[in-house]
Amino acid sequence: MMSPTTLIFDLDGTLIDSALVVADILNEMRVERGMSPLDIASYRLWSSLGGTTLVGNALGIDPAQAADRVVEFRRRYHLRPTPAESLFPTTRQTLTALAAKGYTMAICSNKPASLCAKVLRETDLADYFDVVIGGDTLPRSKPDPAPLQHALAELGVPSDAALMIGDSSVDQRTAAAANVRFVFFTPGYDDGVDRKQVFRTIDQLSELETVLV
């Protein structure tokens, strides 16, 4: 098996703790509808399931009927600045070190591409990534392997030259379906990752440097 040259990162729950902003927005929407706020743990649990399920669960409606609410949620998200404290510890230092060592890096997220770009821009991470694949870049999103395979094709690298770094079973299933090794980031939004089936487990992003030795 090839030594990895390419690192594909999930965004929410891996580089960015987006639950901070998500909870503020959706609790605001709940209060406007006469509902009490939910604790952030609920939003962390739902964050890996995609925007439709996240918003449906948060507002207590069938996700199939949540399209208008998802549009409203994303409109508010575009207007809400991303706080600097959303970065997980060692994120910037780790990406800087990996870039200096010549690793190619990309994002593969279920967040809409425009929101990925906004968050990366506002946290000054955009320049680290050669490719950004969002949940709406293709007709299919994670855990379908198509977005990850598309990222690899855009970068011109085979699956065995890459690692997928993520925090959820959605990321794990995506990586497995694309035949890419999966590195599990434990501080994120773990929704039932099978730890026996991961390539490596890391408790902070700086540990990636030891995984890649």
Active-site residues, by number, are 10
Which helix (H) or strand (E) is 182 found in, with range?
strand 181-185
The answer to whether the beta carbons of residues 133 and 155 sit under 8 Å apart is no
Token pair for 35: 């509902």
Residue position matching structure tokens 């060592």? 101
φ, ψ dihedrals at 185, nearest 5°: -95, 110
Pairing of strands 131-133, 162-166: unpaired
As a whole number of angstroms, the distance between CA 6 and CA 194 comes to: 23
Q: How far does Cα 105 stand from its chain's mean position?
A: 14
As a whole number of angstroms, the distance between CA 115 and CA 77 comes to: 8
